[in-house]
Chain A
Amino acid sequence: MYQFNYHKPATLDEATALYKEADDPIYLSGGQTLIPTMKQRLAAPTDVIDLAGIDGLSGITVSGGVVQIGAFTRHAQVAESEAVRSAIPALADLAGQIGDGQVRNRGTMGGSVANSDPAADYPAAVVGLGATVHTDQRDIAGDDFFKDLFETALQPAEIITSIDFPVPTRAAYQKFPNPASRYAVVGVLIADFDGTIRVGVTGAGPCAFRACSIEDVLNENLDPDALDGVEVPDAGFNNDLHASAEYRAHLVKIMAKRAVVQLG
């Protein structure tokens, strides 16, 4: 790890002010990606601004058909939350499949979403459930949030404060984990909002996206067999050591079918 300045601001304003003053700053949330990256000397920020000291960024509330989760809420808290489990069980299931126990106890929803790792689980839910990302400056629709590999709609210094997940009629998340890292090779979240289907996909492309071709078919016929004839184009899909683009496209379809079955 390289030398850096450590800050632990008490307010969002203080955090953003520190960010704007620093040469090459970075926010620290749960640190499950940032800290290993820094330890491997792959990241060398001049200033690490720890968001752990800011009150009000953590917690889960359910009201008016929306589950609101504070950005600093740990994955384990989401996985174990009775409120989340009764409102959107698929979201609690998804959180329980992230990393391992140690990662879930430290990692946060805001950190995961802001990082836009192509293989992270939460982005599938943000897209698939049509979430709204609240920041210290504005609200961003889930559909518009993920831009590319590790790129989001967030502006420099902008901080996610919470994420609103509309409560669907039903939803399901199916993940095909990488056997080594246990990240998603492909993850598909399908949500049914009173007959309107949304499909969020992670792992397959450079960032999470909605699978419109699958949505179109399922909006016609919510049946796993209806997906048999669907073409999932693999153009632009990730193609690496762990899975070819072609295999990922196949897995998107299979995970989608399983998610439809799981919807019940």
Chain B
Amino acid sequence: MSEATGIGASVKRREDLRFITGSGTYTDDMNQPGQAYAVFLRSPYARAKIGAIDSSEAMAIEGVLAVYTGQDTAADGLGDIPCGWLVKSKDGSDMVAAPHPPLAVTQTNYVGEPYGIVIAESVAVAKQAAEAVTTEFTELNAVVDVASAAQSEQIHEGVVDNLAYDWELGEKAATEAALASAAHVTELDIINNRLIPNAIEPRAAIGCHDRVADHFTLYTTSQNPHLERLILSAFVKIAPEHKLRIVSPDVGGGFGSKIFVYAEETAVIWASKKVGRPVKWTAERGESFLADAHGRDHVTHAELGLDADGRFVALKVRTTANLGAYLSTFGAAVPTYLYGTLMAGQYKTPNIYVEVQGVYTNTAPVDAYRGAGRPEATYVVERLVETAARELGKDPTDLRRMNMIQPGDFPYETPVALVYDTGDYEASLDKALEHSDYQGIDARRVEARERGKRRGIGFACYIEACGLAPSQLAIQLGAGVGLYESGEVRMHPTGSVTVFTGSHSHGQGHETTFAQVVSTKLGVPFEDVEIVHGDTGRVEFGLGTYGSRSLAVGGSALVMASEKIIAKARIIAAHMMETEADNVTFADGVFSSSNQQVTIQEVAFAAYVPADYPEDLEPGLSEKAFYDPENFTYPAGTHVAEVEIDETTGVVELVNFVAVDDFGHIVNPMIVDGQVHGGVAQGVGQALLEHGIYDENGQLLTGSFMDYCMPRADDLPDFTVDTTVTPCTHNPLGVKGCGEAGAIGSPAAVMNAITDALGVKDISMPATSEKVWRALRRE
């Protein structure tokens, strides 16, 4: 075992050779014999009745194979696309899920919603044909504004006040009483801006139907192919699971947007049987903007009560969450169970009450986007805490410190349904203050002022719940599936290993990290371990990758499977050394008993060539495991942002950013650093640059990179990234997950820095130069 590839080593990512040399195999790189091409008919209106659709002119164009509409999918008995999480309202009633047909049948409810599919011999012909289809729309008034959605025209039949649910968590009466008797109450009205995910690879799908076997294969950009198969099979009724294979090959980023089951891949796989040809669709960027699930989009009023010493006594939060036109796969859960449950943050706030109204609007569905609920929760808590410190004239780090849950308090049960297993929040705060030279901030402010710049510093002490999720708890809270993960470790006769995981890598580096884990556990060379993922035809089952769960849940399954391998191999080794299994020790790939040794590779060979073999033991050395976590994991840390604001233009420059995170044990520090960098870039993007904007008619104004501003390298400083470690207490690796932390802590840190520099209570994200200039002018 080489040390340089074990758990804890910054092994270079083995997948990067193909990614950075353009040798990856993404869905659009794949082609099937006889393949045809799809283009979607998309609603030009935010809300409209669909009248007559005339495709005769389109069908007359040479090379056009078919034009199907929602009428056709409905006639074929295709089911609706379901929401995978049932949230209940305060009164115990189920949320109201508006039907979401794969292709709209009678009414479209957001601009870009697909209501038909055109299939032709080429994309160009399909586009030409799509333009030749005439559709009689009757435009209706669009509901766009989140805050007034409940008072607007009703979008869906049966959904009164456009309200999907009115949810609550925590003790209302106790919280209100504590607020009423608090020495000080800090209030904030907060808008969490709508984001559009924009993975570098747009969504794509190729649907194939084998007429002889009546078997479907769907190649698509999915973060969780098994869940996609389950939904397409059980709900949409494409085909039984054993007749449907989903392959999710190399995928260029997801950030949540590729978790969900969408209309397009559903229509493509269905249409492949109808036309008897493989059907391919690759989204153009404009389609991604319109029809990928968006993120965030909350309007919140929040109150934090403090006693005379500054101890938090109560937190009350009321949020209206925009769910978009339909409930996307996890859309109902994100602003509730992934949001309200995080309101304790790192603090011992004894009374917390959260209520969330989930509303429908005529905009693209809103669902999980990197962080998913937890950035929104952190934003509420950390903006409030910082504001409270300013109002009370206290140092914001001191106020946090006196309210933090202490290492001796764990396990700590919050008032909002979670039990934190471990942590040391002051340790990461201390380290972050040191890295950010908090002592020197006053001198830096003075120096900046001389250059016409306002300098400010802001903090965010975040916590998140990752490692989704204990299945029974998740199902009890409304999840439609368990949230365990499966893994299989298959040792071959010659001792090399193929690992099958239900996690899916779309940039995370699992092919490297998981090989580090398995090679360390089995004591075999890193090079001898290969990771297989993203194919329901090869991997038994899986729940996929999101919520920073892959290593904590998927990695733990691989540890369990590896331990089963070692247990069986120990029996074989004992037989080979003519001793009892109890006398055999295992370390670094070698079984030992007194002065005898056999390697795990020798054992593997014996397992497949059982010439002299234990009685009653099956040959072979391949083991599966399903790991169901006992609890969530709780990564936490402190992010510190420092900004300079140009007084003349209002331009905000992020000049320093420090992230100190506690991810528990770390398998590959380089990959973790990269995850933090990327997450922080996205969080800074939310704070400074990104904003998905619809006009009052529901037309998307930010439908391209000309108008929707993604963060770029020159928008960012060098980040200082460091870690503290309190190992997770309940998974075998002691890991917590690192994929989302950067995007969770950074928006609050950046906005706290900006409001500090400006001396204003609040400014909404993104802090564009004009907004900041207007704030400066109001002085």
Contact = CB atoms under 8 A, between A and B. Distances in A.
A167 to B, nearest CB: 30
B770 A1 contact: no
Interface string A220-264: 000000000000000000000111100100110010010000000
A241 B706 contact: no
A179 B709 contact: yes
B693 to A, nearest CB: 7
A254 B689 contact: no
A254 B124 contact: no
B707 interface: yes
B525 to A, nearest CB: 43
Q: Which of A1, A179, A243 has the most CB of B within 10 A?
A: A179
B690 to A, nearest CB: 9
Contact of A241 (B286, B649, B702, B705): B702
Interface in B707-738: 707-710, 715
A254 B708 contact: no
B773 A181 contact: no
B648 interface: yes
A137 interface: no
B507 to A, nearest CB: 23
B286 to A, nearest CB: 7
A180 B707 contact: yes
Nearest to B774: A247
A101 to B, nearest CB: 13
Contact of B709 (A180, A250, A254): A180
Contact of B124 (A1, A40, A242): A1
A85 interface: no
Contact of A254 (B286, B648, B707, B715): B648
Interface SS of B by simple majority: loop
Contacts of A176: 649
A241 B773 contact: no
Contacts of B128: 2
Interface string B118-146: 00000010011001000000000000000
Interface SS of A by simple majority: loop
Interface residues of A, number: 18
Contacts of B702: 241
Contact of A243 (B648, B709, B770): B770
Contacts, number: 35
Interface string B395-426: 00000000000000000000000000000000
A242 B704 CA distance: 13
Contacts of B649: 176, 251, 254
A138 interface: no
A242 B706 CA distance: 10
B701 interface: yes
Contacts of A183: 706
Contacts of A20: none
Interface in A1-16: 1-2
A76 B689 CA distance: 28
Nearest to A179: B709
A40 B286 contact: yes
A181 B707 contact: yes
A40 B648 CA distance: 38
A247 B650 CA distance: 10
A242 to B, nearest CB: 8
Contacts of B708: 180
Contacts of A40: 286
A244 B706 contact: no
Given A250-B773, A254-B649, A181 B127 contact: no
A241 B707 contact: yes
Contacts of A242: 707
A247 B127 contact: no
Contacts of A41: 127, 131
A241 B770 contact: no
B689 A179 contact: yes
Contacts of B705: 180-181
Given A179-B689, A180-B705, A247 B124 contact: no
Interface string A44-88: 000000000000000000000000000000000000000000000
A2 B127 CA distance: 9
Contacts of A254: 648-649
Contacts of B131: 41
Contacts of A179: 689, 709, 715, 768
Contact of B706 (A180, A243, A250): A180
Nearest to B693: A241
Nearest to A250: B773
A243 B702 CA distance: 14
Contacts of A181: 705-707
A147 to B, nearest CB: 24
B710 to A, nearest CB: 8
A244 B709 contact: no
Q: Which of B124, B128, B706, B768 has the most CB of A within 10 A?
A: B706
Nearest to A181: B706
A33 B702 CA distance: 19
Interface in B608-648: 648
B198 to A, nearest CB: 12
Contacts of B773: 247, 250
Contacts of B286: 40
A166 B39 CA distance: 52
Interface in B263-294: 286
Nearest to A176: B649
A244 B707 contact: no
Contact of B689 (A1, A180, A243, A247): A180
A56 B706 CA distance: 34
A228 to B, nearest CB: 11
A244 B770 contact: yes
Contacts of A257: 648
A40 B768 CA distance: 28
A183 B709 CA distance: 12
A241 B701 contact: yes
Contacts of B770: 243-244, 247
A243 B769 CA distance: 9
Nearest to A257: B648
A25 B231 CA distance: 51
A251 B649 CA distance: 7
Contacts of B768: 179
Interface string B489-522: 0000000000000000000000000000000000
Nearest to B127: A41
A41 B286 CA distance: 12
A54 B706 CA distance: 32
A146 B446 CA distance: 46
A121 B701 CA distance: 24
Contacts of A244: 770
Nearest to A243: B770
A179 B706 CA distance: 9
A190 to B, nearest CB: 17
B132 to A, nearest CB: 12
A176 B649 CA distance: 9
Nearest to B702: A241
Contacts of A243: 770
Contacts of B648: 254, 257
Contacts of A247: 770, 773
Q: Which of A40, A176, A241, A243 has the most CB of B within 10 A?
A: A241
B64 to A, nearest CB: 16
Nearest to B128: A2
A39 to B, nearest CB: 9
A179 B772 CA distance: 15
27 contacts: A1-B124, A2-B128, A40-B286, A41-B127, A41-B131, A176-B649, A179-B689, A179-B709, A179-B715, A180-B689, A180-B705, A180-B706, A180-B707, A180-B708, A180-B710, A181-B706, A183-B706, A241-B693, A241-B701, A241-B707, A242-B707, A243-B770, A247-B770, A247-B773, A250-B773, A254-B648, A254-B649
Given A179-B709, A254-B648, 11 more contacts: A1-B124, A41-B131, A179-B689, A180-B705, A180-B707, A180-B709, A181-B707, A183-B706, A241-B702, A241-B707, A247-B770
